Amino acid sequence: MYKLISPDVLVSLSMERRNFLRTTGALGTGGLIALAGCADDAEDDADPDAFPTDDLTWMIPWGEGGGTDTYARQLQGTFEEEIGASVTIDNREGAGSMVGTEWLTTRDADGYTLGTVNSAGAHFTWRAAEIDDWHIEEDLEPVAYSGVFGYTIIVNNDVADEHGIDDFASLRDAYQDEDIETFGYQGAGSDSHLLMLLLRDGYDMAYNNGVPYDGGGPTMEAVISGEVSAGFATNTSAVNAEESGEATAIVNTMDIDLSDTWPDIDRIDNYGDSLGWLSEFTLTQHVPVGTPTEVKEQLSAAIEVAANSDSVQEWSEDTGNIVQYGDMEEAEDLWFGIVDEMEEQVEAAIDGGFDGFLALAEEEG
Amino acid sequence: MTVATFIGAILALLTLETMFWLLAGVLVGIIVGGLPGLGPPLGMAIILPLTIPLNAADAIILLVGVYSGSMYGGSIAAILINTPGVSSSAATMFDGYPMSKQGKAATALSISATASAFAGLFTIAALILFSPVLIQMVLAVGTPERFLVALLGLSMITVITRGSFAKGLLAGAAGLLVTTVGSAQPIAIDRRYAESLLLYDGIDFVAVLIGLFAIAEMMKLAGQEGGIAEGDVVIDRAGIKDGIVETVRRPVTVFKSGMIGMIVGAIPGAGATVSNFVAYSEAVRASPDPDTFGSGNPVGVVASEASNNGTVAGSLVPAISFGIPGSSSTAVLIGGLLMHGLQPGPSMFQVEGELGLTYTMLLALLVGNVVILIFGLSAVTRLGYLTKIDTDYIIPIVIVLSFLGTYALRINPIDIVTIIVFGIIGFYMVRYNYSVIAFVLGVVLGDIAESNLYTALQISGGTYDIFYNPFAYGRPLSFVLTVTILLLLFGPLVKGQLNRLRGE
């Protein structure tokens, strides 16, 4: 039917786990003592003025060591200092982030549980999974965003040298002339699959053979090794690809400017409309619907301080990860109405709209 | 200059603080690895945020220490209670646990420590010496080769199956069937049942392993009086010495298994679990007495334990040279590198880049293996006494640990159902002589085989010559692997025919 694979995944990890269980599993009775403490704090938890009186849980719907997880762990220390409470990162991986996101929608709306869910990747995945039990926009409330990432196109260096590929025009020409044939993407039915189809139909990137891989890591590996000529990599992974000396990032498919990292990188919007609605993701922090506004503002302010801290900014400069704070209003702008917009965009690009795309993905699979 | 960099790395390692983090990492790893379900990725993930205040070298050393320690630690539960502490210790159970039942737990644990340490030592040394070759090898292994490695593992069913061959094949096929639940990764086919998101990623194979071995064995033990060991349990120097001797007198098995671990570990997506089974199967194939495997043959423990620690060295190659996460463990390691401002890439192997840090990390792993040897022989072997404890106490403890460890895998209630169901299946498979090992091979390799088969055929446009024609796609390794598989499958048949013809 479809795939739930997000570009976020620097890695595809098969491990979802909860720090609470780790410690209680290892330490036994300590967990019971902690639970007893939680019961005492129940009344305070309901009072936004007293927030926070207990530890917080920061849910990440991806595995440890992945892009979203790394961002959260970078922010964690300063965020804890600002909010005045200990914060546990809780990785709940599964179903392309939908398992953790669904879990977040079921938590108490008291501010003690927040999570990072990425717009618009989560919107795409939610729509592709045809989830009816909860709504990606109606059951979560954004409080801030803290970073941006998205797709670039990387090309194998030997291929680039042989065919003189250094921007989108030369890549497009190489495909049209059948000098090269293969393009790697991150699984049939994924957002990268749709993005590839849009590049073919709207931007004349006439590849002969789109090759699906099991996530971002394998796609990058395939380009590096020359198994496919070119493919998608997130801007963070593309730094790794370039460091390998075997591949080069040549096209930025996002709206955000990447010239600090790659001064010469081409932009897809030089060749047509922006594709940022599909290819760019914001790391948005959410709480369950009904969380008091004062609490959301506190959380947002703490995220702002953490994102702008020297240590995080230094990490950003060192690694190419884009750290960028957006307040509650800006986060809401990037969160609400996205599903409808996505439906309209896909409707305009693909026969049968989103359902047509899913049927096409299933047919190709 | 490389020599100067190497000496600098030695000096960097030999500081009190760095050695402390190394020791702490290995010991934490052994404990985490010894607990069912809690493998190296989880141990490393727990440690990851704690490394933030450390300098980059100490942080990475702590992480790889946990990685290496937990690879060894997984054997403890495998040998003592028939539960894979980590999935890469699954094959250790096949002969390690029968040794425990025979009262030879100390010997089995001693073999595990010695084989793990020796294989760890020489594979890390090989990595230091031959890293440029290994880096090139990683690039030569692509999607078709990964499928063929999985197929090679599956074809080992013919080698390791004892008794009815048809039952072995049936068990292997049933194992493959388990992997069809959920979605096949690169393909847009959804095979969930009841549209549950919890089944989207399929059935976790570690939960299957814990069910098949730990739960099934506890069901069996419930009808047994006394401890796990059926005879006297002797924990003395002689038993430990026996373990060392059993390992040392099999240098070929240690070397071969360690190299299998290293090479398969360097293949992203294959990893320690696959190498574990391949090395074990190869030991069975090469043995003059294959029928003794599965009933306490020490060679089985040597092969399995040498391979999983060899995998550590191999898996570091794609991780630090290309930033390719070949496994969950190395994915967390890459996260650690990035967290400390280090960018994986060839610069990690270049003098003008981070070669000094890479050398320090590899030397730390060398020393870590010495720690494993000393700690394993002196302290862990004492745990053999656990096999004397009455099963009335052991069974509930193992069951609780299995449930907790399994739930901690993904915080997914489906995994709890999985261990119960596969516990029952495992119990009856043993009772009716169906090969559990063949079943496990199917479960472990099914996903790898399916996704890579699909992608390889997509690359070739649907033609199968990508797997055997060395000229069409410039993939000589595919050809070699295909020939190996054919030899493995049909070699004994051809040999038998030839012998018969000669006889006539």
Alpha carbon separation from B226 to B64, B95, B101, B256, B317 (Å, rounded): 40, 21, 11, 39, 47
Give pLDDT, residue B172: 93
Please indicate whether residue B367 or residue B138 has the higher confidence score (pLDDT): B367
Mapped onto helix, strand or coil, the DSSP state of residue A150 is strand
Beta-carbon separation of A69 and B335 below 8 A: yes
Among candidate residues B327, B290, B283, B287, the one with its CA nearest the CA of residue B306: B283
- Rounded (10°) angle between helices B90-101 and B105-140: 170
Q: Please state, in angstroms and rounded to a whole number, the distance separating the CA atoms of residues A205 and B74.
A: 49
Model confidence band, residue B455 (pLDDT cutoffs 50, 70, 90): very high
Give pLDDT, residue A297: 95
| B97 half-sphere exposure, CB direction, 13 A CA radius | 22
CA angle B150, B156, B157 (to 5 degrees): 110
ipTM of model over 0.85: no
* Preferred mutation among A244, A317, A355 to probe B, highest tally of B CBs within 10 A: A244
Best CATH choice for the domain A19-149+280-342 from the list 3.40.1010.10, 3.40.30.10, 3.30.460.10, 3.40.190.150: 3.40.190.150
Q: Please state, in angstroms and rounded to a whole number, the distance separating the CA atoms of residues A39 and B9.
A: 51
Mapped onto helix, strand or coil, the DSSP state of residue B320 is helix
Pairs of residues, one from chain A and one from chain B, whose beta carbons lie less than 8 Å apart = 220
Helices (H), A134-266: 157-163, 168-176, 191-203, 216-225, 235-243
Q: Please state, in angstroms and rounded to a whole number, the distance separating the CA atoms of residues A115 and B449.
A: 35
Beta-carbon separation of A15 and B344 below 8 A: no
Residue A144: strand pairing partners: A285
Q: Please state, in angstroms and rounded to a whole number, the distance separating the CA atoms of residues A218 and B326.
A: 9
Lowest mean pLDDT among A66-70, B67-71, B291-295, B458-462: A66-70
Q: What is the DSSP letter of B327?
A: S
Across A219-233, B370-384, B490-504, the highest mean pLDDT is recorded for A219-233
Q: Find the residue in A nearest to B43 (Cα).
A: A22
Mapped onto helix, strand or coil, the DSSP state of residue A323 is strand
Q: What is the DSSP letter of B463?
A: -
B145: which chain A residues are within 8 Å (Cβ-Cβ)?
A: none
Q: Find the residue in B nearest to A72 (Cα).
A: B49
Give me B399's structure tokens: 């069951």
pLDDT < 50 stretches in chain A: 1-45
Q: Find the residue in B nearest to A181 (Cα).
A: B459
Share of chain B above pLDDT 70, in %: 96
Kindly report, residue by residue over A252-262, the tens digit of the pLDDT: 999 999 988 89
- Rounded (10°) angle between helices A310-319 and A67-83: 170
Q: Are A111 and A51 in contact (CB under 8 A)?
A: yes
Superfamily holding A150-277: Periplasmic binding protein-like II (3.40.190.10)
Give me A105's structure tokens: 């929608």
Please indicate whether residue B38 or residue A326 has the higher confidence score (pLDDT): A326
Does B324 have pLDDT greater than 90? Answer: no
Q: Please state, in angstroms and rounded to a whole number, the distance separating the CA atoms of residues B336 and B358.
A: 14
B461: which chain A residues are within 8 Å (Cβ-Cβ)?
A: 209
Q: Find the residue in B nearest to A221 (Cα).
A: B324
Give me A73's structure tokens: 């762990």
Rounded to two decimals, the pTM is 0.81
Give me A334's structure tokens: 């990037």
Does B151 have pLDDT greater than 50? Answer: yes
Section B225-243 average pLDDT: 77
Give me B381's structure tokens: 């072997």
**Would you kindly state where each structural domain of chain A is located, as residue ranges?**
19-149+280-342, 150-277
* Preferred mutation among B87, B338, B343 to probe A, highest tally of A CBs within 10 A: B338
Q: Are A115 and A58 in contact (CB under 8 A)?
A: yes
Instruction: Please list, in sequence order, all residues whose beta carbon lies within 8 angstroms of the beta carbon of residue B431, skipping any fewer than 6 positions away.
Output: none
Considering only CB atoms, A243 lies closest to which of B336, B339, B345, namely B345
B341 min Cα distance to partner chain A (Å): 6
Considering only CB atoms, B412 lies closest to which of A94, A211, A241, namely A94
| B464 half-sphere exposure, CB direction, 13 A CA radius | 2
Q: Please state, in angstroms and rounded to a whole number, the distance separating the CA atoms of residues B271 and B206.
A: 14
pLDDT, chain B, mean? 86
